[in-house]
């Protein structure tokens, strides 16, 4: 048994439960210390103090996890386990998550700084829905019969890839774990997962639920630890056939490099964004202002598909800014467990510093602070929702992904100008369009260089609909039927029904 664990009595207004679990490396359905016996401190974003410790995994632990995952594939999972049984286990897991819905939500709140209510109603609810959705796919992974000639039967099998690596970010730990695990398990793969060391607690707790649901040992393994050690070991391991990564564009590049230099493993990358949110002059201004604020400030702005560049048509600019700044000023910040709190702290000191650096750069480069622009209080990682106006396309706050509660508002002349400015970014994850003229809105959406476009809404993914980007925002898709394609390999089978071969 590992030496590290986490016990917490939440004793708050909206959730009063307790939690207690081991925080070791999880291999073969057991928790253990990392091979070096060292630990990592997990910080409380509300106070900046130490919350608990987790085991620090190593490259050796990754190798042990890969061996366990391979053994499970050969004996109890993959082609050895019918899809209907995988489906049953996944549904059991979803039921257990539902039973522990509040506890998992409280873990996201205490570890990431998300508000308990959002964690409960968005993150964890969607995580459960994702596992259920993919449980439904597990016995529907179908190949094809392909007509060639009467003398041949040709068909395809969609077989599991093997051991897959899954590297998670800290902004939606449990949700993104389920986005990756759902399609991987449904298609019969085994997994070696690395949560982000900033916020791993809900993911570690999930491992206990995986055991309780009855998954065979070795199907899901989790090696906690740092990206430069555990992450690198996963991407470079020759026994891992595919890596699914969510995080920064910079690290995504390293993942590809290691994948190419090891066994040419497949990769899916879900990376950064600097999404445009376009408000056309025929938009409903009140609705657009609320959705625009949601799109950039939800989850403290730590959202890859955030609509952080807001473009407003000149003719309605003043009206929109008046309503938008009013909405932003009404956002209530404070303890994530507070009943009416909408805005918690950022996830880590390092990230807090990075965002404050961007806010300073906006001020230094001459942008106007229309709302916010400061830290909140003197303890923890709280930052005011911030709106910059009078910005230009060369400013860092306009060009670079801040991944925090910072919006920039720009003007455009007409639809063509909005499309040109909106697409003027190296990213291509998402775009949002607001207009009561649905034809114009759809026309604009189709012109956006983005993997996802939202019309008269913002940042609202669904587990049935593909999620992912183009340009520097990534490769491949999470969610929906499309995500399954990343997790199976296609085997063609040719059966001779009467072709003669006579040589000599």
Q: Which residues are near ligand NDP by CB under 6 A?
A: 167-171, 194, 196-198, 226-228, 231-232, 235, 246-248, 251, 254-255, 270-272, 304, 401, 403
Asked if residues 430 and 467 have their Cβ atoms less than 8 Å apart, the reply is no
User: Taking CA 433 as the corner, what is the angle to CA 280 and CA 168, rounded to the nearest 5 degrees?
Assistant: 150
Name the nearest CA neighbour of 294 among 307, 309, 312. 307
User: Taking CA 220 as the corner, what is the angle to CA 62 and CA 81, rounded to the nearest 5 degrees?
Assistant: 130
Quote the least distance from Cβ 456 to ligand NDP, whole Å.
Answer: 24
Asked if residues 404 and 301 have their Cβ atoms less than 8 Å apart, the reply is yes
Tell me whether residue 42 or residue 90 sits nearer to ligand NDP (CB atom). Answer: 42
**Distance (Å, whole) CA 367 – CA 390:** 5
Lookup: tokens for 384: 């005011």
Asked if residues 195 and 222 have their Cβ atoms less than 8 Å apart, the reply is yes
Quote the least distance from Cβ 44 to ligand NDP, whole Å.
Answer: 17
State the residue number with the nearest CB to ligand NDP.
227
Asked if residues 416 and 316 have their Cβ atoms less than 8 Å apart, the reply is no
Tell me whether residue 205 or residue 351 sits nearer to ligand NDP (CB atom). Answer: 351
Name the nearest CA neighbour of 31 among 155, 162, 174, 203. 203
**Distance (Å, whole) CA 135 – CA 215:** 13
Quote the least distance from Cβ 323 to ligand NDP, whole Å.
Answer: 29
Residue 43 β-bridge partners: 50
Tell me whether residue 243 or residue 288 sits nearer to ligand NDP (CB atom). Answer: 243
Tell me whether residue 10 or residue 358 sits nearer to ligand NDP (CB atom). Answer: 358
Q: Is 212 a catalytic residue?
A: no
Token pair 């938009």: residue: 283
Within 8 A by CB and 6+ apart from 66, the residues are 163, 192, 237, 239, 240
Tell me whether residue 119 or residue 138 sits nearer to ligand NDP (CB atom). Answer: 119
Tell me whether residue 108 or residue 335 sits nearer to ligand NDP (CB atom). Answer: 108
Q: Given 108, 270, 281, 401, which residue is catalytic?
A: 270
Q: Given 81, 178, 304, 463, which residue is catalytic?
A: 304
Query: What 3-state DSSP class applies to 493?
Result: strand
**Distance (Å, whole) CA 212 – CA 89:** 10
**Distance (Å, whole) CA 215 – CA 123:** 23
DSSP result, 454-476: EESS-S---TTS-B--EETTEES
Quote the least distance from Cβ 255 to ligand NDP, whole Å.
Answer: 5
Quote the least distance from Cβ 61 to ligand NDP, whole Å.
Answer: 14
Quote the least distance from Cβ 194 to ligand NDP, whole Å.
Answer: 6
Q: Is 178 a catalytic residue?
A: no
Quote the least distance from Cβ 277 to ligand NDP, whole Å.
Answer: 18
Residue 460 β-bridge partners: none
**Distance (Å, whole) CA 502 – CA 491:** 27
Tell me whether residue 241 or residue 281 sits nearer to ligand NDP (CB atom). Answer: 241
Quote the least distance from Cβ 423 to ligand NDP, whole Å.
Answer: 19
Name the nearest CA neighbour of 182 among 198, 169, 193, 170. 193
CB atoms within 10 A of CB 499: 10
Lookup: tokens for 231: 């992450």
Tell me whether residue 166 or residue 444 sits nearer to ligand NDP (CB atom). Answer: 166
Catalytic residues: 270, 304
């Amino acid at each position: 048994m590992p030496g590290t664990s986490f016990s917490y009595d939440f004793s708050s207004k909206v959730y009063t439960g307790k939690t207690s679990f081991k925080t070791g490396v999880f291999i073969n359905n057991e928790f253990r210390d990392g091979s070096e016996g060292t630990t990592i401190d997990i910080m409380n974003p509300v106070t900046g103090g130490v919350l608990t410790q987790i085991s620090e995994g190593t490259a050796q632990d990754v190798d042990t996890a890969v061996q366990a995952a391979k053994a499970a594939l050969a004996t109890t999972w993959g082609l050895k386990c019918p899809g209907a049984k995988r489906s049953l286990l996944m549904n059991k897991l979803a039921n257990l998550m539902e039973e522990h819905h509040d506890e998992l939500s409280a873990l996201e709140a205490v570890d990431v700084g998300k508000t308990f209510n959002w964690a409960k109603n968005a993150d964890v609810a969607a995580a459960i829905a994702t596992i259920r959705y993919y449980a439904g796919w597990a016995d529907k992974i179908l190949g094809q019969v392909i007509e060639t000639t009467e003398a041949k039967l040709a068909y395809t099998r969609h077989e599991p890839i093997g051991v897959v690596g899954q590297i998670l970010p800290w902004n939606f730990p449990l949700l993104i774990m389920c986005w990756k695990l759902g399609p991987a398990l449904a298609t019969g793969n085994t997994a070696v997962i690395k949560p982000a060391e900033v916020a791993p607690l809900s993911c570690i707790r999930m491992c206990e639920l995986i055991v309780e649901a009855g998954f065979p040992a070795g199907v899901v393994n989790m090696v906690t630890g740092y990206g430069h050690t555990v992450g690198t070991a996963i991407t470079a391991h020759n026994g891992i056939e595919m890596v699914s990564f969510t995080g920064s564009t910079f690290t995504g590049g390293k993942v590809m490099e290691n994948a190419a230099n090891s066994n040419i493993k497949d990769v899916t990358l879900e990376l950064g964004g600097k999404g445009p949110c376009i408000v056309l002059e025929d938009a409903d201004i009140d609705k657009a202002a609320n959705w625009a604020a949601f799109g950039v400030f939800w989850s403290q702005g730590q959202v890859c598909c955030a609509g952080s560049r807001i473009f407003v048509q000149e003719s309605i600019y003043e009206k929109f800014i008046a309503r938008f700044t009013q909405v932003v000023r009404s956002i209530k910040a404070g303890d994530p467990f507070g009943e009416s709190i909408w805005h918690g702290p950022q996830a880590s000191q390092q990230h807090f510093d990075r965002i404050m650096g961007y806010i300073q750069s906006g001020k230094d480069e001459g942008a106007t602070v229309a709302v916010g622009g400061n830290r909140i209080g003197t303890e923890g990682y709280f930052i005011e929702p911030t709106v910059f106006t009078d910005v230009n396309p060369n400013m860092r706050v306009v060009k670079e992904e801040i991944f925090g509660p910072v919006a920039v508002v720009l003007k455009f002349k007409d639809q063509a100008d909005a499309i040109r400015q909106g697409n003027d970014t190296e990213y291509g994850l998402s775009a949002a369009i607001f207009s009561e003229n649905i034809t114009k809105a759809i026309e604009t959406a189709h012109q956006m260089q983005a993997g996802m476009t939202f019309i008269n809404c913002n940042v609202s993914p669904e587990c049935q609909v593909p999620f992912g980007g183009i340009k520097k925002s990534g490769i491949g898709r999470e969610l929906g039927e499309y995500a399954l394609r990343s997790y199976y390999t296609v085997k063609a089978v040719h059966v001779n029904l009467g072709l003669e071969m006579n040589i000599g």
